[in-house]
A and B are shown apart, each in its own frame.
Chain A
Amino acid sequence: MTTRIDRRFAALRAESRAGLVTFLTAGDPDAETSLAILRALPQAGADVVELGMPFTDPMADGPAIQASSQRALKTGQTLRKTLAMVRTFRAGDDATPIVLMGYYNPIYIYGVDRFLVDAREAGVDGLIVVDLPPEEDEELCLPALKAGLNFIRLATPTTDDRRLPAVLANTSGFVYYVSITGITGSAAPDTGKVTGAVARIKRHTALPVCVGFGVRTAEHARAIAEGADGVVVGSALVDAVRASLDDEGRATRATVTAVTGLVSALAAGVRGARRVAAE
């Protein structure tokens, strides 16, 4: 079974370039603006879209994504609304993969079986759930795979060669390499180390490897794209949302373009990479 994610990475491979994976929190700063941003992302150069499901206690996230979750929750974002947002997006775009990213509790409370049905029906392609390591695969990972959704796992610098096979076992779509030990939005990783780590993961899997955490600029995205199949940018985009808001924290006319402008620049960076033996 191939998913939109599989097809998108196959197309990127055919173009011999890395993909740009953009993260934004659903409902940030409000449902309407967030949908407008989402719809503008593919045109701006996003190859894969990660949509954050806001949660009150994002334990693995730094201040930027914490604040974006708070903004979204404050304007009434719920998991149900996030799924509705995907459904609306899908009506106009049947190609761009959407990965929902977040924490387990809202999904658990929604009900795993019902969530998987609704997510698939809405047009979701994959899931990243930060607090579900392979040790808890029975909770959501295995049911998700059965339901035809990709379950994308994070590999980190602490995931050594002994542990990698367990992490990769039920992973599909792509592998998300977290380039630092730390929370989102932390200091940028050393590119050389990242390239080495990607190569190490690739010795264990044929899946595409995307790299994230700490990528902020086009230049940096370009450097990472030289050794990876995809570059994930999150905190920088979420910061662009924040910087565009008015004093009361509401969206302005600049909000959508602040994000799409940065996405275009990052996409140019990724597309300008000279790829080194990524295959």
Chain B
Amino acid sequence: MTIQQPNSFRTGPDERGHFGIFGGRFVAETLMPLILDLEKAYAEAKADPAFRAEMDGYLSHYVGRPSPLYFAERLTEHLGGAKIYLKREELNHTGSHKVNNVLGQILLARRMGKKRIIAETGAGMHGVATATLCARFGLECIVYMGAVDVERQKPNVFRMQMLGAEVRPVQSGAKTLKDAMNEALRDWVTHVGATFYCIGTVAGPHPYPMMVRDFQSIIGHETREQILAAEARLPDSLVACIGGGSNAMGLFHPFLDDRAVEIYGVEAAGHGLGSGLHAASISGGRPGVLHGNRTYLLMDDDGQIQEAHSISAGLDYPGVGPEHAWLHSVGRATFLSATDDEALAAFRLLSRLEGIIPALESAHAIAKVIELAPMKPKDHLMVVNLSGRGDKDIFSVAEHLGGKL
């Protein structure tokens, strides 16, 4: 099958927020004026060199960027194929890539005069990043988190509370990320005036998927410079895990028009794609409309959204960002999936070989590196996004491994 490909993969979305048939603004009327305001404020900020300069200042002095691009020598040796580089987003302040986006949105919220920040979180990394920047700028912070995730990501709940945020456990549905997002949207509809909704991934109504992508693209821009400095050429492949897809889009986007660069997104396969208990919306779902955008979703024949299943709270979401859905539909990116067990094995392997404990989310990307790297020649350069650190996960991993790490 040949798929008609566009001249550039980097021009989306259109002015209505569409990436092909995906994206859009499927929200209640109450929110529509707010989303239009946000779009306008973001366009103004983007065009303002002072905003860029302010971001850059905090990115280097507060977040600690650039994050290193690290040659994973022992992992490379162990797998015996591609030369593997880790983009070390876990070394950012707060421990993941989430802070890149939150910084942008919080600075934007300040420009818009918003004093009350709400966020949804799954693994808690986005919640921690939001709580952190709210503390830094003296803003009220409310984080919605599924009750199941509150339980399995306890360390992050304490961190958020320490930072002065209010964590509201969500009891509806499967009590995970999707339900947290529903509740955050309900909050936003109710407190329209002063509230800024800081979405944690490249999903939601336009302009969020575009805006979050722009803020996260620093990952790919840095990677490009760093690999050119280290190897004097572009990488041959990129690998990143996909929850909503923000760390992945951040790495991928600057390389989309370098067609020789293979792009792999890794979804969470939970107990396996055949089990029905997974979170792989592209591999196991179909296009539908939820949370403000059209994208791949897990659902039944009646269009009812199904609950996702993943050991990783950050990937436990039945949807995916619309731009990923589009990249899949035009064949520019390949979407694979890793099971809970594969992620656990990767979690252990990276810890032992490189002295880096990855977040369970990032371990899904590593799991596919374990599969892909041995099939590639030794001069193949593979960059994997190490989106977060695994401190938050050690208790639940220990539990899954029956108490023995």
Residues of B within 8 A of A178 (CB): 29-30
Residues of A within 8 A of B34 (CB): 158
Residues of B within 8 A of A160 (CB): 33
The docked-state distance in angstroms from the alpha carbon of A220 to that of B304 is 35
Say whether A156 contacts B29, CB under 8 Å. yes
Instruction: Tell which of B32, B299, B303 touches A107, judged by Cβ atoms closer than 8 Å.
Output: B303
B interface footprint on A40-64 (CB within 8 Å = 1, 0 otherwise): 0000000000000001111110100
Nearest opposing residue in chain B for A60, CB measure: B28
Say whether B26 contacts A136, CB under 8 Å. yes
The docked-state distance in angstroms from the alpha carbon of A159 to that of B34 is 10
B interface footprint on A153-171 (CB within 8 Å = 1, 0 otherwise): 1111111100100010000
Given A66-B172, A110-B303: A105 and B289 within 8 A (CB)? Answer: yes
B63 interfacial by beta-carbon distance below 8 Å? no
B interface footprint on A54-81 (CB within 8 Å = 1, 0 otherwise): 0111111010001000000100001110
The docked-state distance in angstroms from the alpha carbon of A60 to that of B189 is 8
Say whether B182 contacts A57, CB under 8 Å. yes
Instruction: Tell which of A56, A103, A155 touches B173, judged by Cβ atoms closer than 8 Å.
Output: A56
Instruction: Tell which of B172, B182, B192, B289 touches A108, judged by Cβ atoms closer than 8 Å.
Output: B289
B61 interfacial by beta-carbon distance below 8 Å? no
Q: What is the CB-to-nearest-CB distance from A153 to chain B, in angstroms, rounded to a whole number?
A: 7
Pick from A79, A132, A159, A186 the residue with the most CB of B within 10 Å. A132
A interface footprint on B285-327 (CB within 8 Å = 1, 0 otherwise): 0001111100001010111110000000000000000000000
Nearest opposing residue in chain A for B32, CB measure: A133
Q: What is the CB-to-nearest-CB distance from A42 to chain B, in angstroms, rounded to a whole number?
A: 28
Say whether B299 contacts A109, CB under 8 Å. yes
Q: What is the CB-to-nearest-CB distance from B28 to chain A, in angstroms, rounded to a whole number?
A: 5
B161 interfacial by beta-carbon distance below 8 Å? no
Given A57-B182, A131-B28, A136-B26: A105 and B288 within 8 A (CB)? Answer: yes
Say whether A181 contacts B16, CB under 8 Å. no
Say whether B182 contacts A59, CB under 8 Å. yes
The docked-state distance in angstroms from the alpha carbon of A107 to that of B28 is 16
Residues of A within 8 A of B288 (CB): 105, 108-109
The docked-state distance in angstroms from the alpha carbon of A114 to that of B185 is 30
The docked-state distance in angstroms from the alpha carbon of A105 to that of B290 is 7
Say whether A79 contacts B33, CB under 8 Å. no
Size category, A interface: 35 or more
Residues of B within 8 A of A131 (CB): 26-28, 289, 292
Say whether A167 contacts B29, CB under 8 Å. yes
Nearest opposing residue in chain B for A58, CB measure: B182
Size category, B interface: 20 to 34
Residues of B within 8 A of A105 (CB): 288-290, 297, 299, 303, 305
Residues of A within 8 A of B297 (CB): 105
Residues of chain B from 186 to 222 with CB closer than 8 A to chain A in the complex: 186, 189-192
B interface footprint on A180-197 (CB within 8 Å = 1, 0 otherwise): 011100100000000000
Say whether B29 contacts A155, CB under 8 Å. yes
The docked-state distance in angstroms from the alpha carbon of A104 to that of B28 is 11
Instruction: Tell which of B29, B190, B305 touches A133, judged by Cβ atoms closer than 8 Å.
Output: B29
Pick from B173, B302, B305 the residue with the most CB of A within 10 Å. B302
Say whether B289 contacts A57, CB under 8 Å. no
Given A59-B28, A104-B289, A105-B299: A181 and B190 within 8 A (CB)? Answer: yes
Residues of B within 8 A of A73 (CB): 304
Say whether B172 contacts A132, CB under 8 Å. no
Say whether A79 contacts B303, CB under 8 Å. yes
The docked-state distance in angstroms from the alpha carbon of A62 to that of B183 is 10
A273 interfacial by beta-carbon distance below 8 Å? no
Given A57-B182, A105-B289, A110-B303: A158 and B192 within 8 A (CB)? Answer: yes
B98 interfacial by beta-carbon distance below 8 Å? no
Nearest opposing residue in chain B for A182, CB measure: B190
Residues of B within 8 A of A272 (CB): none
The docked-state distance in angstroms from the alpha carbon of A136 to that of B302 is 22
B25 interfacial by beta-carbon distance below 8 Å? yes
B388 interfacial by beta-carbon distance below 8 Å? no
Residues of B within 8 A of A153 (CB): 29
Q: What is the CB-to-nearest-CB distance from A167 to chain B, in angstroms, rounded to a whole number?
A: 7
Instruction: Tell which of A132, A158, A167, A182 touches B26, judged by Cβ atoms closer than 8 Å.
Output: A132
Instruction: Tell which of A57, A78, A159, A186 touches B290, judged by Cβ atoms closer than 8 Å.
Output: A57
Residues of chain A from 117 to 143 with CB closer than 8 A to chain B in the complex: 130-136
Residues of B within 8 A of A132 (CB): 26
B178 interfacial by beta-carbon distance below 8 Å? yes
A261 interfacial by beta-carbon distance below 8 Å? no
Given A73-B304, A106-B302: A57 and B173 within 8 A (CB)? Answer: yes
Residues of B within 8 A of A56 (CB): 173, 304-305
B122 interfacial by beta-carbon distance below 8 Å? no
Residues of A within 8 A of B302 (CB): 78-80, 106, 109-110
Say whether A55 contacts B189, CB under 8 Å. no
Instruction: Tell which of A55, A62, A108, A158 touches B30, judged by Cβ atoms closer than 8 Å.
Output: A158
Residues of A within 8 A of B289 (CB): 103-105, 108, 131
Q: What is the CB-to-nearest-CB distance from A210 to chain B, in angstroms, rounded to a whole number?
A: 15
Say whether B33 contacts A158, CB under 8 Å. yes
Nearest opposing residue in chain B for A62, CB measure: B186
What are 20 A-B interface contacts by the 8 Å CB criterion? A60-B30, A60-B189, A66-B172, A78-B302, A105-B290, A105-B299, A106-B302, A108-B289, A133-B28, A136-B26, A154-B30, A156-B30, A158-B30, A159-B29, A178-B29, A178-B30, A181-B189, A182-B30, A183-B190, A186-B190
What 9 pairs between A and B have smallest CB-CB spacing?
A109-B303, A106-B303, A182-B190, A156-B30, A78-B302, A131-B26, A133-B32, A105-B303, A60-B28
Task: Please name 17 further chain A to chain B contacts, defined as beta carbons within 8 Å, in addition to the given A133-B26, A136-B26, sorted by A numbering.
Answer: A55-B304, A57-B291, A57-B305, A59-B182, A59-B186, A60-B186, A62-B186, A104-B289, A105-B297, A109-B299, A109-B301, A110-B302, A131-B27, A135-B16, A135-B32, A154-B28, A181-B192
